[in-house]
Structure 1
Amino acid sequence: MRPFDELITEAGQADVTGWGFGWLDGRATEERPPWRFVSLLSQHLGQADAALDLDTGGGEVLAEALGAAADRGDPTPATLVASEAWAPNAARARERLAPWGGRVVVPVDGALPVADASFVLVTARHPVAPAWSEIHRVLRPGGTYLAQHVGPGSAFELIEAFLGPQPEARTGRDPEDEAAQAHAAGLDVVELRTATCRMELHDVGAVVWLLRKCVWWVPDFSVDRYRGVLEDLDARLRAGARDDGTTSTPFVARSTRHLVVARQAG
């Protein structure tokens, strides 16, 4: 395994825009939920004439699903819009979605700059905080909300290594609570599935890169501020290092996800 300073310097300089995680190839793994969200998204997009993707990041997931739909010969939605609040991601999404005629909008104080009842399909993969009233507003009667949400206590083994125990924060993002909020906004939740998935981090660079990308996990994170924690994690990972640079004792965390399918009740 390469020296500590080399790993954290490399991770501190790497690009973290968008929602691609390819930088972690060979350094970290995460199981995927059994419902195969991108495949589900692709199937729904192939049947929708107007679709909106929320918190699209750099448009990576939406573009992958659109490509799969095109490979099947399915049409692209005639109206394709994505929302993204962070300017670097929005710029990347505009470029990535241009081949499908996609338009990227920026929410204003949480409100989407689109007309009422504009979409038959609203989607999201890991939305920051579902705005249920807005989702209800922009869906047509009978329209579908299809999303994969981050669940409660996700990756908290890693988060709490830096912040200490977070018992109250662990209870957030409860799928039943979110289903109740969706219902209160006028949506009928027709499917709610949950999954717990294993994450493995094999070097300290993967930890630094993840915390730079997912800034809400450890909001005050910097290498200097948490150097002691990072050094301890690095020593733990090196204890099981193999000749190929991987480790037999990775840092293990668990991500939680839930699939939400809801309908606009009209």
Structure 2
Amino acid sequence: MAPRTHRTFDALVAEAEAASVDGWDFSWFEGRATEARPSWGYARSMGERMARATAALDIQTGGGEILAGVAELPKLTVATEGWPPNVAKATELLRPRGVAVVADEEEPPLPFADGTFDLVVSRHPVRTYWDEIARVLSPGGRYFSQQVGPSSVFEVVEYFLGPQSEQTRNSRHPDQARAAAEKAGLEIVDLRSERLRIEFFDIGAVVHFLRKVIWMVPGFTVEEYRPRLAELHREIEAEGPFVAHSTRFLIEARKPA
């Protein structure tokens, strides 16, 4: 357990509100929150596939942090991103590596010709357009992705929004991804999931999380949720970290040769 800060509610919230939420870098949470990582090691596994590819596409690259960490990139490597601050950050980070960053609205169609890539990757896509992935993959090409699973961090979601429907809780289920991939004509090579422990050590970490992962509590603002945040702050101070659980699944699919 991280040490208690004993800082005031207002100080913790103000610090979290002032922090930048650009990119997909979670280093701000160091000492403030922890999350267990999936056993498969997405970044390492993705890097291994990149080293064998000839043309690769990273969809919804965020700030480009994961792709920038790959040791050996294909000669043709392209990344897409829809949020302007992230496009700028990814371009700055990836251009020196020879990666073309394309500003894309993240709605079909992908701005690439049929069969362009032998590897398409994506970490935590908001939505997966399987038909488009199948279209831009070359025969024998593969899609490799780590995705958010059902009811992920719903302890936080339901603390602020109340109980969610079973339909909402079960959305993003890996079985749905399997069915959609197969409907698009892809063959499933690997599919596995894990449930992982998260601990928030102070209310600032919760605020920063909700500002950064904006789909958890849509339209979240400190002002609107201040009473509930203050209540959670008191609980953390009295009882220790607020515990939640993320769900992740890994899916790899192949386009028939």
Query: With structure 2 as the length reference, what TM-score do the two structures score?
Result: 0.95
- For structure 1, the 5+ residue unaligned runs are 70-74, 241-248
Name 2:109's counterpart in structure 1.
Answer: 111
**Aligned length in residues:** 250
Pairwise CA distance, 1:63: 1.0
- Structure 1 CA distance for aligned equivalents of residues 54 and 88 of structure 2: 24
- Structure 1 CA distance for aligned equivalents of residues 23 and 55 of structure 2: 23
Tell me the C-alpha RMSD between the 2 structures.
Answer: 1.0
> Does the Cα contact within 8 Å between 2:115 and 2:135 map onto a contact in 1?
yes
Pairwise CA distance, 1:90: 0.8
Aligned structure 1 segments of 4 or more residues deviating by more than 4 angstroms: none
Cα deviations by residue, 1:145-180 (Å, 9 ceiling, x for unpaired): 000010000000001000000123111001011110
- For structure 2, the 5+ residue unaligned runs are 1-5
Name 2:26's counterpart in structure 1.
Answer: 21
Name 1:89's counterpart in structure 2.
Answer: 86
- Structure 2 CA distance for aligned equivalents of residues 98 and 78 of structure 1: 13
- Structure 1 CA distance for aligned equivalents of residues 44 and 38 of structure 2: 12
- Structure 2 CA distance for aligned equivalents of residues 110 and 207 of structure 1: 33
> Does the Cα contact within 8 Å between 2:95 and 2:101 map onto a contact in 1?
no
Pairwise CA distance, 1:2: 0.9
- Structure 2 CA distance for aligned equivalents of residues 239 and 57 of structure 1: 36
> Does the Cα contact within 8 Å between 1:152 and 1:256 map onto a contact in 2?
yes
2:252 to 236, 240, 261: 261
Name 1:42's counterpart in structure 2.
Answer: 47
> Does the Cα contact within 8 Å between 2:118 and 2:138 map onto a contact in 1?
yes
> Does the Cα contact within 8 Å between 1:106 and 1:112 map onto a contact in 2?
no
Query: With structure 1 as the length reference, what TM-score do the two structures score?
Result: 0.92
Name 2:3's counterpart in structure 1.
Answer: none
Name 1:243's counterpart in structure 2.
Answer: none
- Structure 1 CA distance for aligned equivalents of residues 234 and 73 of structure 2: 50
Pairwise CA distance, 1:9: 0.6
Name 1:76's counterpart in structure 2.
Answer: 73
1:153 to 151, 157, 170: 151
Name 1:132's counterpart in structure 2.
Answer: 130
Name 1:223's counterpart in structure 2.
Answer: 222
The one-letter code sitting in structure 2 at the alignment partner of 1:224 is: E
Pairwise CA distance, 1:220: 2.1
The one-letter code sitting in structure 2 at the alignment partner of 1:260 is: I
The one-letter code sitting in structure 2 at the alignment partner of 1:201 is: F
The one-letter code sitting in structure 2 at the alignment partner of 1:6 is: A
Cα deviations by residue, 1:206-225 (Å, 9 ceiling, x for unpaired): 00000000111101211110
3-state secondary structure, aligned to 1:253: strand
The one-letter code sitting in structure 2 at the alignment partner of 1:129 is: R
> Does the Cα contact within 8 Å between 1:8 and 1:204 map onto a contact in 2?
yes
